[in-house]
């Protein structure tokens, strides 16, 4: 039996790794040990409970006011102590957070093979998104197995000199989580949202919280308010708990009669809200994958994205971070039925609900315990999907 430490710390990591953890636990070839850094303490715990999971080891590294460096340092220090005592055959990390980087470095320092889930995403610009792009590039250099969601992600890794035999194309496990969530929630998770099923207005699900967006949040929030001024439109804003985000966003949206501001919702309730929404307007990495999977036109509040497949496929669009970009692109979809229909009918390039099975098969093959995983092939695969990063014209000129 192979003992694999699964290191996570944020809500998105819990969502995307939950199907993998359950599958590893059900497979007699593996014994997963879940190690949590607690990077997103409250939201992480809530999400773990939704997926019927709890950490085997909780490092609880977060203290108020920590910098990125301090968070990474504390996570690495605590992980070092745990890896010293565990007899591991591999360490598995996901994505691009401070937790991911700390888990990767701890494995490397202990000469334990590193498995990187959601490998190969690239914006092509080291400073955007920050620090995620840098974290991903560094982790790729020390990973032993790269689990790339799409063929384009694999192409990115190959272009950086990563050996092809160490890469498996799996699809994205967030689609598996989305399929699992299904219609499990019997409410929207907040009293202010319970009229959504009978509300005839078009619903725009709007959020922005990533570090890159912080300087632009006031104008993004003003755009949310202007969108809500459109006749027959309601904007729902699940607002991140980060105090800096709340200070920047609330003045423009609080008290608007057609804007509903709520705290971050439990995942099952959030999935129900996405299904009800007409448009997803967000800088969230998960929303860029979940929106297209649900057939929702997805407007990405950023000038560049590491998830360019949906942009190429036509189900997502970069709108930048300016007031004009956020407002204009959203209102176009609210007013133009044909433009809306084109985006709503575009194919989903990120998964088919079987990424977890491919992930486990790829890990087993890595250990010599099974054949190679059958690669994921997107239904909308073309030669363009997609090595070239997607960016706005404004960003390309800068």
- Cite the active site residues: 96, 118, 132, 209, 211, 240
Distance CA 142, CA 108 (A): 7
Q: DSSP characters for 139-171? A: HHTT-SEEEESSHHHHHHHHHTT--GGGEEE--
Residue in the structure block whose two tokens are 């009978």: 198
Give the SS3 label for residue 345. coil
Distance CA 262, CA 236 (A): 8
User: Could you tell me where the DSSP H helices lie in the chain?
Assistant: 11-26, 41-50, 68-85, 98-109, 132-140, 151-159, 173-181, 217-228, 243-253, 267-276, 285-293, 309-313, 323-335, 337-344, 355-366, 393-397
Burial of 68 (0-12, 13-18, 19+ CB in 10 A): middle
What are the backbone angles phi and psi of residue 171, rounded to the nearest 5°? 85, 170
Distance CA 76, CA 91 (A): 13
Distance CA 370, CA 194 (A): 48
- Residue 245, CB-side half-sphere exposure with 13 Å CA sphere: 16
- Work out the widest C-alpha separation in the chain, in whole angstroms: 61
- What are 316's two structure tokens? 């997502």
Give 48-54 contacts, CB < 8 A, sequence gap 24+: 48/14, 48/18, 50/266, 50/267, 50/268, 51/14, 51/15, 51/18, 51/22, 51/177, 51/267, 53/14, 53/18, 53/21, 53/22
> First CA to last CA across the chain, in angstroms?
52
Distance CA 110, CA 243 (A): 37
């Amino acid at each position: 039996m192979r003992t694999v430490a699964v290191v996570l710390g944020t809500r998105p990591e819990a969502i995307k790794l939950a199907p993998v953890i359950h599958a590893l636990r059900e497979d007699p070839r593996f014994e997963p040990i879940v190690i949590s850094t607690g990077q997103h303490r409250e939201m992480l715990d809530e999400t773990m409970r939704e997926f019927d999971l709890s950490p085997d080891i909780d490092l609880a590294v977060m203290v108020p006011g920590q910098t990125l460096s301090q968070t990474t340092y504390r996570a690495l220090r605590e992980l070092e102590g745990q890896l010293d005592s565990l007899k591991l055959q591999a360490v598995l990390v996901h994505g691009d957070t401070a937790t991911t980087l700390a888990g990767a470095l701890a494995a490397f320092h202990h000469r334990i093979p590193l498995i990187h889930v959601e490998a190969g995403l690239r914006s092509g610009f080291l400073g955007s998104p920050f620090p995620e792009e840098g974290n991903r590039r560094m982790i790729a250099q020390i990973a032993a197995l790269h689990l790339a969601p799409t063929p384009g992600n694999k192409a990115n890794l190959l272009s950086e000199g990563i050996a092809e035999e160490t890469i498996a194309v799996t699809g994205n496990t967030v689609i598996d989580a989305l399929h699992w969530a299904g219609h499990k929630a019997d409410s929207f998770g907040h009293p202010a949202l319970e009229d959504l099923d009978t509300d005839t207005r078009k619903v725009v699900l709007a959020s922005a919280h990533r570090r890159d967006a912080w300087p632009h949040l006031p104008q993004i929030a003003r755009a949310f308010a202007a969108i809500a001024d459109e006749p027959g439109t309601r904007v729902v804003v699940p607002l991140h708990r980060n105090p800096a985000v709340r200070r920047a966003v609330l003045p423009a949206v609080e008290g608007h009669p057609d804007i509903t501001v709520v705290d971050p919702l439990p995942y099952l309730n959030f999935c129900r809200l996405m299904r009800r929404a007409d448009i997803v307007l967000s800088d969230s990495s998960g929303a860029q994958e979940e929106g297209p999977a649900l057939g929702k036109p997805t407007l990405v509040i950023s000038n560049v994205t590491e998830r360019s497949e949906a942009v190429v496929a036509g189900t997502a669009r970069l709108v930048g971070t300016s007031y004009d970009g956020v407002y204009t692109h959203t209102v176009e979809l609210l007013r133009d039925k044909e433009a809306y229909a084109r985006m709503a009918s575009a194919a989903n390039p990120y998964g088919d609900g079987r990424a977890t099975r491919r992930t486990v098969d790829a890990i087993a093959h890595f250990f010599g315990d099974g054949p190679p995983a059958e690669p994921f092939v997107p239904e909308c695969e073309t030669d363009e999907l997609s090595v070239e990063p997607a960016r706005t014209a404004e960003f390309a000129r800068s």
